[in-house]
Amino acid sequence: MQTYNPNDTICAPATAPGMAAIAVLRLSGPGAFDIAAGIFIPKNKKLSLAKTPSHKVSLGQVMEGEQPVDEVLLTKFVAPNSYTGEDMVEISCHGSPYIQQKILQLMIDSGARMASPGEFTMRAFLNGRLDLSQAEAVADLIASNSEASRDLAFSQLRGHFSKRISDLRQKLLEFASLIELELDFSEEDLEFADRTQLRQLLGDIDDEIDRLRESFATGNALKQGIPVAIIGKPNVGKSTLLNALLNEERAIVSEIPGTTRDAIEDTITISGIAFRFIDTAGLRESDEPIESVGIERTYEKIRQASIILYLFDLSETGLEEIAETIRDFRDRVGEDDKRLILVANKIDLMEEIPHHFRNLVDLETVFVSAKRKENISMITDSLVQSAVTHPEERDATLVTSSRHYEALSRAAESVAAVRQGMDDGISGDLLAIDLRGALYHLGSITGEVTSDEILGEIFGRFCIGK
Amino acid sequence: MQTYNPNDTICAPATAPGMAAIAVLRLSGPGAFDIAAGIFIPKNKKLSLAKTPSHKVSLGQVMEGEQPVDEVLLTKFVAPNSYTGEDMVEISCHGSPYIQQKILQLMIDSGARMASPGEFTMRAFLNGRLDLSQAEAVADLIASNSEASRDLAFSQLRGHFSKRISDLRQKLLEFASLIELELDFSEEDLEFADRTQLRQLLGDIDDEIDRLRESFATGNALKQGIPVAIIGKPNVGKSTLLNALLNEERAIVSEIPGTTRDAIEDTITISGIAFRFIDTAGLRESDEPIESVGIERTYEKIRQASIILYLFDLSETGLEEIAETIRDFRDRVGEDDKRLILVANKIDLMEEIPHHFRNLVDLETVFVSAKRKENISMITDSLVQSAVTHPEERDATLVTSSRHYEALSRAAESVAAVRQGMDDGISGDLLAIDLRGALYHLGSITGEVTSDEILGEIFGRFCIGK
């Protein structure tokens, strides 16, 4: 990001690479209109680009000297009413990679340079169009692959999370100012900052930070997909079940052609929530028993799961044996915050389903035939229920970024130090240091405090053209 | 295409699939504005979609009921001033495949349906925005991967080719009308159509069709890339030379990041012309000698090439031997319309380059070191020269579509039949049949005459969203 210079006019393709009906090229910066005027001739000659109002689309041709290159639509955005907050032009050309490259080359020859990854959004941030957490939400929104992850990113983009953090920080800032003021008058031993109120506020901030940090597990799971493990002995039907689950969803998704090409292997979205199936020792290919070699690695994987589907072959396994296995499993893994669902498979081979089963194992149990795809929807219902155990969380502000989690943790440490310091009766200047620490870490989330390093790290992960 | 119904409102993504900064969704048809108004709320509440003028971009949110789905830019195009000639809306959303799918789903739930491949362009054709040959040029333009192929497609899109065909057809149509008129008055034995003039016109049309048909070889080569074969004995450095040629171009192309991902293997573009290196018996991997097994298959490939680079190891091969090999090669393959370039490799191992070489073989000869990348540009210069042997052709109207070539050939047959019929003095009604045939085939190129079958074949090859 060291090359960032707001006097540069930058350009890049904004749409995905590849052949398509159209592609959109972006040009932003002080020279955007001059560069565009030099390579674009509107069909309506009377409407020169200079006279074109903001947010107006013009039909015309991109020219290389006297030679027309392509027929395009050009949209003009006059600063500050653009994505970056700068003068901006978007050219919608025919979606040939060659034509895109050609037009970009013409822009570059006219004085633009290729944008770095995320540079458009970074300019939006630096021009005050977005705060840092909102800028990060743009990347999350683009990467969102489920209702839940889109919800979270969009809520963050609309500033819900930023507002929460800013409010906390604003309150803390007031106290910090008073403490700093005390330092200026330190010889007079004044206390501008009401210690009882400060203690109260620090307690509130601590609670809020704790709540936000706790929400990271849910937020991250919803963003990345909730990890699910399917386990069981060989031949109980694990691969068949996984395929049945995946096929059920693929069938729904593929109703809209042209939009499924990026489907992620082994992830399904049910009721807007993504579930990510963890590969427990080659779950899909081999039927390695969890009792055999590699058992520790398998348990390691199982521990990462939020939901475990424990699969039995009901036609082969006695109820007592199942109960025994489950007890053993619970002893070894513990359940903590996991959800364990017992899936009794191969009911197609049974004459009747044992009614007293549930009492025996005291666990949510689903009876299915993976092979005949019977009752598969009962599993998906259970998965959704497990994911929204705390339905109130879905409306709350959730932390989804590990950077934010990290900053909140650092802020919590500083707040704890302030509280400890007050208990120990340390001096105002030492208190002020820890307060500044808390302010810094909260501010780094929204970008009120920032550094080139943070910016480089955040925007370096963006795609070019955003 | 049987599902085509102009009362339907159709939707599709118009940009390439995959994650990107933005994606553009298209909505076209009589319900486009109502559907868009139902799912879009402009940020400026006063500017409802109904009041928004054509070609105006509005910032706002796509809504699913009360829930915002994404922040988007919406552009309104009022019929007939749109790509399809219908009411049209383009929504530029965040480039997440999930979000695109979600918005398309909302459009479909509101009464739109997914567009068939090429349906937007087919509507443009049916609404008279483009003729058929121009519509085909849109697909060619999107697929263009070099200056030359873009040039050809763009020229066709601008109607140069259509105009030529239409003019020919118009003249023929006048005569056909007169002949038809004669048929109405056949009892009176009138000759409205001047036979001498008709003969003259048929001759002119024949010449023009011939010229156009002949241009197909050049046009097709420029569109697809000019086929080049590199041949020679094992270890003369064929792979090294190919890599040197490819690398030279890759280095240029990769100056613009983000635009090279679709580079086609073994195709290089020099001075705007694409050269396609034919895989002569695994040219790249193995060094199978052309004298060994599979020799016939190799010669088959060589016959497809327009340019042959015959490579020798100058440090190992005597001049007499080279001359002998070349004579033998010319005898076997013939040169026809091919261009044979002799490449004397490994000059790095030579103390001096033999001066009398050219006289010996009477062939264009380039002395290079593929390994040290010396004089590689002399080969690329030769390639470009070979491609533009007939420079006047580059400005002329070239046939690039096999469908057009086919139609021209059928038209030529009909014209020949008319001329033969006139020579044989056949009756006006028989003459009229062949004239109608010629008119039909010429008209099928521009779409003045068309059928569902032709339309289905042409537009079925388009991508969705175009």
- Burial (Cβ within 10 Å: 0-12, 13-18, ≥19) of residue B283: buried
What's the rounded Cα separation, in Å, for the pair A247 and A267? Answer: 11
Whether the per-residue pLDDT at B188 is higher than 80: the answer is no
Question: For residues B152 and A1, which has the higher predicted lDDT (pLDDT)?
Answer: B152
pLDDT confidence band for B285 (50 / 70 / 90): very low
- CA A28 to chain B, closest CA, distance in angstroms equals 14
Query: Would the CB atoms of B68 and A154 count as touching at under 8 Å?
Result: yes
Question: Alpha-carbon distance A89 to B110, whole Å?
Answer: 32
CA distance B68 to chain A (A): 8
**What is the rounded average pLDDT of the residues B228-240?**
82
Is the Cβ pair A24, B15 closer than 8 Å? yes
pLDDT of res. A296:
63
What distances in angstroms separate CA A291 from CA A127, A281, A300, B431, one per listed residue?
Answer: 59, 12, 14, 88
Q: Specify the CATH class of A221-394 in words.
A: alpha beta
pLDDT-above-70 percentage for chain B: 85
Burial environment of residue B153 by CB neighbours within 10 A (0 to 12, 13 to 18, 19 or more): buried
Cross-chain CB nearest to B256 (options A24, A94, A101):
A101
Q: Do B262 and A24 touch (CB under 8 A)?
A: no
- Kindly provide the ipTM of the predicted complex, given to two decimals: 0.75
* Residue A154, SS3 per DSSP: helix
Measured distance CA(B102)–CA(A146) in Å, rounded = 9
pLDDT for B108? 94
Nearest by CB: B17 against A97, A101, A262: A262
- pLDDT at residue A320, as a whole number: 81
Quick: pLDDT tens for B87-134. 999 999 999 988 999 999 999 999 999 998 899 999 999 999 999 999
Q: What does the buried/exposed string (b/e) look like for B67-91 if buried means 16 or more CB atoms within 10 Å of the residue's CB?
A: ebbbbbbbbbbbbeebbbbbbbbbb
Residue A65 backbone phi and psi in degrees, to 5: 65, -120
Residue B19 makes CB contacts below 8 A (sequence gap 6+) with A16, A142, A143, A262, A463, B95, B96, B97
Q: Do B101 and A13 touch (CB under 8 A)?
A: no
Please give the Cα distance from A46 to A49 (Å, whole number): 9
Comparing alpha-carbon positions, the chain B residue that sits nearest to A158 is: B71
> Mutual orientation of helices A132-143 and A147-157 as an angle, nearest 10°?
160
pLDDT at residue A410, rounded to an integer: 93
Q: Do B17 and A114 touch (CB under 8 A)?
A: no
C-alpha of B24 from chain center: 25
Closest residue of B to A94, CA-based? Answer: B142
The CA distance from A275 to the nearest CA of chain B, in Å, is 15
pLDDT tens-digit map of B387-434: 765 544 445 678 888 889 999 999 999 999 999 998 998 888 888 899
* pLDDT mean across residues, chain B: 82
Instruction: Please state the separation of Cα A307 from the chain's center in Å.
Output: 20
Please state the rounded mean pLDDT for residues B144-155: 85
Residue type, B164: R
> How many whole angstroms from its chain centre is CA A383?
21
Show the DSSP H helices in A225-254 as ranges. Answer: 238-253
Confidence of residue B58 (pLDDT cuts 50, 70, 90): very high
Domain boundaries, chain B: 10-130, 137-215+400-447, 221-394
User: What span, in angstroms and rounded, lies between the C-alpha atoms of B409 and B429?
Assistant: 23
Q: Which residue in A17, A104, A144 is closest to B262 by CB distance? A: A17
The string of pLDDT tens digits covering residues B300-330 is: 777 778 888 888 888 888 878 888 888 888 8
Same fold, A10-130 and A221-394: no
Position A189 scores a pLDDT of 67
Greater pLDDT, A194 or B150:
B150
Query: Which CATH class name applies to A10-130?
Result: alpha beta
Q: Taking phi first (over 0 means left), then psi (-120 to 50 degrees means alpha), and beta for anything else, what does residue A258 get?
A: left
- Rounded Cα distance between B344 and A258, Å, is 50
| Per-residue confidence in pLDDT tens, chain A, 466 aa | 445 688 999 999 999 988 899 999 999 999 999 999 999 999 988 889 999 999 999 999 999 999 999 999 999 999 999 999 999 999 999 999 889 999 999 999 999 999 988 999 999 999 999 999 999 999 888 888 888 888 888 888 888 889 889 998 998 898 888 888 887 776 766 676 778 888 888 999 999 999 888 888 778 877 878 888 888 887 788 878 888 887 765 544 444 443 333 333 477 878 778 888 875 543 333 444 444 445 666 677 777 788 888 888 888 888 788 888 888 888 777 666 678 888 989 888 888 777 666 666 777 888 899 888 888 888 888 888 877 655 444 456 888 888 999 999 999 999 999 999 989 988 888 888 999 999 999 999 998 887 787 788 788 878 777 8
For residue A26, give the H/E element and its range. strand A20-28
Q: Which helix (H) or strand (E) holds A199?
A: helix A195-224
Q: Is the pLDDT of residue B19 over 50?
A: yes
For helices B195-224 and B147-157, the axis angle rounded to 10 degrees is 140
Yes or no: say if A149 and A274 are a contact pair by the CB < 8 Å rule: yes
- Smallest CA-to-CA distance from B457 within B122, B23, B110 is with B122
Q: A-chain residues within 8 Å CB-CB of B57?
A: 55-57, 75, 77
Contacts of A97 in chain B (CB under 8 A): 145, 259, 261-262
- Interacting residues of B459 by C-beta distance below 8 A, sequence separation 6+: B1, B116, B117, B118, B119, B121, B122, B135
Q: How far is B172 from chain A, CA to nearest CA, in Å?
A: 32
Measuring CA to CA, which residue among A351, A164, A376 is closest to residue A270?
A: A376
Looking at residue B287, its pLDDT comes to: 44
> What was the pLDDT predicted at B429?
83
Annotation: CATH topology of A137-215+400-447: Four Helix Bundle (Hemerythrin (Met), subunit A) (1.20.120)
Spatial separation of the C-alpha atoms in residues A13 and A26, rounded to whole Å: 6
Residue B338 has pLDDT above 90, yes or no: no
Cα separation of B87 and B83, whole Å?
A: 9
> How much is the pLDDT for A365?
85
| pLDDT at residue B332 greater than cutoff 80 | no
pLDDT for res B15? 95
